[in-house]
Structure 1
Amino acid sequence: MKAAKTIRRQLLVGLLAGLVLAISVAGFATYLKMRHETNELFDYQLKQIVRSFPANMVHQKSETPDTHPGKKIVVQVWNQQRELVFTSNAQKNLPRYDGRGFFEVEVGGQRWKVYSEENEHQIVQVGQLILDREKIEISLALRSLIPFFALIPILGVLIWLLVGKSLQTLSHLASNLDERSADMLNELSIAGYAPELTPIVLAINDLFKRLDHAMQSQKMFVADAAHELRTPLAALKLQLQLVEKADNDFERQQSIARLHERLNRAIHLVQQLLTLARQGAVSEHVGREKLNLQELARSVVSDHAFLAEQKCIDLGVEAPDEDVYINGNRESMHIMLGNLVDNAIRYTPRDGRVDVTVSFTPEGPRLEVLDSGAGIPEKDRTRIFDRFYRGEGTRESGSGLGLAIVKDILDRHHAMFSILPGAGVGGTGLTFSILFK
């Protein structure tokens, strides 16, 4: 299994690679500069050797041993009669050249750098093997690079130590998180952390806050569900006992009918509980897509057409010819509108009317559910979105979760909603208005 690359190792490798590249570029530039300077120094040396000879020399013979370093430089002097009067190395004599100043020549397969001057009395010519010059130049240039490359291991150790010290705050953060229990969701203190780690600590604190809210909501949900399920289950058991005690077929049939009614109510409650739990787990940004409000309204109305027919309720859709779109989760929006239409049908008397309208306003897309029912008393309007709350005197069966689910979905979609009493069909009932941004 391939070992994971740590941040420390990645920083070390990255910084060292950058340093080696920078040092290499600087070293190469220094190398070229050093060779240029050394070459100029050698040229200056040749020029000084030429000018150090007396102006009027007589015949002389060099007795310099062959192994002397001076043999690498050949000095020759000719008098006015073009006779060779001096040579520093008879074995490596160069031809006399007519050119003056610096120039390069090739003698016996070897390249020479030559400098020549002429005065009224003589010609002085000095030559040096270019190969010897280059060896010295390269040697000096390479020696100048030693300090550069000696810094690499030193800098590597310093980087390793400094990066390790800088990452200690991450280890401190990891230790703080590791010491916490699963239910310890209080915020971390940002004191003592580097500014670069502050956003991470703040993000963790925000996550803790959301987890704490989710856990509290889950605890409340479980407690409320247990409480609400206890009553219908007890009623089912009681109704079953009544069926067992029935004296005749008529009483038994009535008891069985009530048993079916209570079973349907319990099934509806469980379905709403599951819907609420499922919607609570849906993220705000998961499954979002472009939705056509007209198609959504027609689909929901079609699903509830049979229920409306049973109560002789006129159920329809009013929408403009142009399509109105929103960005949302298709399943969540279908559940939300379905609950609103279901509530409107349930609480609208027979021969009533329920309309779903779609429009596009200057503020944004708008969806409304209007009914001709009795409306909602003013004292109940502040609590109708609470879980398991059902107003007093309500005859229709329900779980008290429908509007809680509606509010949860709309909050996740950042939609604004309001209830307008007395603004329903025929001036009665109410209008549930939703504005999407």
Structure 2
Amino acid sequence: MVESEDRPSLRRRLLSSLLVPLMLLLVIESLITYSGALIYSNHVHDRDLADDAMTLAQMLSQEDLGGQISPQARFLLEYAPEGHNYFNVSSKKHGLLAGSQDLQSAALSAATLDGEPALFTTALKRRQLRAATVRIPNLRDPSDQLTVTMAETFHDRHQRAREILLLSIPAQALLIAGVFFLVLYGVRVGLRQLDPLTARLAAREHDLAPIGDADVPVEILPLTRTIDGLFARQRRMLALQERFIADAAHQLKTPLAGLRVHVERAQVDPSKDTVSDALQHIQRLTQRASRTSSQLLALTRAQSPELSEDGSECLLDLAQLVPELLGMRVHEAIAAGVDLGYEGEPGPIWIDGDRLSLQEMLDNLIDNSLRYAGRNSLVTVGVSVVSGCPCLSVEDNGPGVPPAFLDRLGERFFRVPGMTEEGTGLGLAIVQRIAERHHAQVRYLAGSSGGLRVEIMFPTARTSKSLLSD
């Protein structure tokens, strides 16, 4: 149970990825609500402030001021239930009649001559105020003008906005909670669409057939197609294993049967000559079995799907690599009585490839020439550029291959009829598979001196252009 809780859960991941945005949405919605409530509160308070200033100005314009306002008007200003703690009443003739002198200059600059209240924001003793001022003529004295200014702090406005916000938050939270539970239900129902696919895969045992797209939701198609690719690679690997087992059983059957015959012959006739002859045959058969198994393993490696799966593909210079590999085989050529030489263009000649695979390819080509060209023959390994493509060639002046059989060279276990030299028929098949992995083409031609010429045409290296530009 603990293990299942610790496992990554798609449902939990989906819900958590939705919950955080929903909470952020609640915060953003609260800020928007508060901003809207504050705008509304400012609008209402501005309207009330302007109405109060206009009402007081009209009332004062009908009084005989005589340099001061009446006690009733002062009472309304100082003890207004709306909390208008800041005011200013001034006359054009008599100057300041009541209130704060600091508001007079701001009020005179903001007031208009049309008798309509003007709203403005000002500061008094480091406190922000919202004020409304109105200028109207004195009805008792037409030559005089009254300016009435009423101001208030922003505290009540923010208080009203907070009250509206607190009233709206529960409704918003309830709405988001409802959305969250609807999403939870939708996720559960949506994930049930995977049940048929899960049941179909659970019913399989050793079936590596593609899953297909029949009942697969669009969102997980990339996953199922990736699994199909994995199944395809597994099928290829299993096919290689089955082919290797079948080839090994077929190719090792003859030498193993020969070993048993010669062992039984030595047991029946333990004479020195018989035992010596049997041991010689046994040694030759074990060498053949060893070479066959090595060639089968090499062929299996060459048939692996991709060249660069292990990251061994790199930029190689054929003009430098081939002479190095060729030098390792000189002593064998001397022992076989073969003149092994090299002809090449000045490098570099770049290809994308795997050094070990190319070494195995060249070794098989040289082995083929040393085995079938015969003593006192000439084998030439060449590197050149043909039609802009790197070319590796191996040519001998041996008996060659009849033209009718050139197209079959490279087939597994194919040996040219009439050849007396022992072989597995796998050397050129390995060459063919390694060339295919390098996206190269192999051509089997008649040599200029009557022997066999094998040419491998490589594609131009993908990274050589960037290397040269650097």
CA shift in 2, pair 1:75/1:174, >3 Å: same
> TM-score if structure 1 supplies the norm length?
0.82
Q: Report the more deviating stretch, 229-238 or 210-219.
A: 210-219
Find the counterpart in structure 2 of residue 155 from structure 1.
179
**Whole-Å Cα distance in 2 between the matches of residues 288 and 95 of structure 1?**
89
Find the counterpart in structure 1 of residue 364 from structure 2.
339
Find the counterpart in structure 2 of residue 13 from structure 1.
16
**Whole-Å Cα distance in 2 between the matches of residues 44 and 397 of structure 1?**
112
Which secondary structure does the structure 2 equivalent of 1:197 belong to? helix
**Whole-Å Cα distance in 1 between the matches of residues 440 and 47 of structure 2?**
87
Find the counterpart in structure 2 of residue 117 from structure 1.
134
Which secondary structure does the structure 2 equivalent of 1:432 belong to? strand
Which secondary structure does the structure 1 equivalent of 2:439 belong to? coil
Find the counterpart in structure 2 of residue 325 from structure 1.
350
* Corresponding letter in the other structure for 1:386: E
Superposition pairs of residues 168-183 of structure 1, within 5 angstroms: 168-170=192-194, 172-182=196-206
**Whole-Å Cα distance in 1 between the matches of residues 123 and 391 of structure 2?**
95
**Whole-Å Cα distance in 2 between the matches of residues 168 and 82 of structure 1?**
86
Q: Report the more deviating stretch, 216-225 or 124-133.
A: 124-133
Contact 2:240 2:300 in 1 (8 A): no
CA shift in 2, pair 1:296/1:199, >3 Å: same
Contact 1:75 1:124 in 2 (8 A): no
CA shift in 2, pair 1:38/1:372, >3 Å: same
* Corresponding letter in the other structure for 2:235: D
**Whole-Å Cα distance in 2 between the matches of residues 343 and 79 of structure 1?**
119
* Corresponding letter in the other structure for 1:56: Q
Find the counterpart in structure 2 of residue 89 from structure 1.
none
1:436 lines up with 2:458 in the alignment: yes
Find the counterpart in structure 2 of residue 316 from structure 1.
341
CA deviation profile, 1:223-271 (whole Å, cap 9, x unmatched): 2211221210110121223334457544443333222222211221122
CA shift in 2, pair 1:233/1:39, >3 Å: same
Contact 1:34 1:141 in 2 (8 A): yes
Q: Report the more deviating stretch, 140-149 or 76-85.
A: 76-85
Find the counterpart in structure 1 of residue 49 from structure 2.
46
1:193 lines up with 2:216 in the alignment: yes
Percent identity among equivalent residues? 27
> TM-score if structure 2 supplies the norm length?
0.77
Find the counterpart in structure 2 of residue 217 from structure 1.
240
Find the counterpart in structure 2 of residue 32 from structure 1.
35
CA shift in 2, pair 1:402/1:169, >3 Å: farther
CA shift in 2, pair 1:254/1:129, >3 Å: closer
**Whole-Å Cα distance in 2 between the matches of residues 247 and 132 of structure 1?**
122
1:263 lines up with 2:286 in the alignment: yes
Contact 2:339 2:379 in 1 (8 A): yes
1:342 Cα deviation (Å)?
Answer: 0.1
Stretches of structure 1 that go unaligned for 5 or more consecutive residues are 86-92
**Whole-Å Cα distance in 2 between the matches of residues 75 and 112 of structure 1?**
9
Structure 1's consecutive aligned runs of 4 or more residues displaced over 6 angstroms after TM superposition are: 75-85
CA deviation profile, 1:203-223 (whole Å, cap 9, x unmatched): 333433333233233223212
**Whole-Å Cα distance in 2 between the matches of residues 278 and 425 of structure 1?**
33
Contact 1:31 1:144 in 2 (8 A): no
Find the counterpart in structure 2 of residue 203 from structure 1.
226
CA shift in 2, pair 1:111/1:281, >3 Å: closer
1:366 lines up with 2:366 in the alignment: no
CA shift in 2, pair 1:161/1:57, >3 Å: farther
Contact 2:89 2:99 in 1 (8 A): no
Which secondary structure does the structure 1 equivalent of 2:362 belong to? helix
CA shift in 2, pair 1:77/1:226, >3 Å: closer
CA deviation profile, 1:104-137 (whole Å, cap 9, x unmatched): 5658x98764434343146645443443333223
Q: Report the more deviating stretch, 206-215 or 324-333.
A: 206-215
1:98 lines up with 2:104 in the alignment: yes
1:95 Cα deviation (Å)?
Answer: 4.4
Find the counterpart in structure 1 of residue 317 from structure 2.
292
CA deviation profile, 1:304-350 (whole Å, cap 9, x unmatched): 32332233211111111212221112111111111111011101122
1:295 Cα deviation (Å)?
Answer: 3.8
CA shift in 2, pair 1:17/1:292, >3 Å: same
* Corresponding letter in the other structure for 2:412: R
1:137 lines up with 2:161 in the alignment: yes
Superposition pairs of residues 229-268 of structure 1, within 5 angstroms: 229-246=252-269, 249-268=272-291
CA deviation profile, 1:83-109 (whole Å, cap 9, x unmatched): 999xxxxxxx954753535465658x9
1:70 lines up with 2:81 in the alignment: yes
CA shift in 2, pair 1:146/1:373, >3 Å: same
**Whole-Å Cα distance in 1 between the matches of residues 15 and 292 of structure 2?**
61
RMSD: 3.6
Find the counterpart in structure 2 of residue 277 from structure 1.
300
**Whole-Å Cα distance in 2 between the matches of residues 105 and 386 of structure 1?**
98
Contact 1:292 1:326 in 2 (8 A): yes
Find the counterpart in structure 2 of residue 56 from structure 1.
62
* Corresponding letter in the other structure for 2:134: E
CA deviation profile, 1:255-296 (whole Å, cap 9, x unmatched): 332222222112211222232334445742121122232343
Q: Report the more deviating stretch, 33-42 or 344-353.
A: 33-42
The partner residue of 2:412 within 373, 387, 404 is 387
Matched length: 423
* Corresponding letter in the other structure for 2:62: N
Find the counterpart in structure 2 of residue 416 from structure 1.
441
* Corresponding letter in the other structure for 2:262: Q
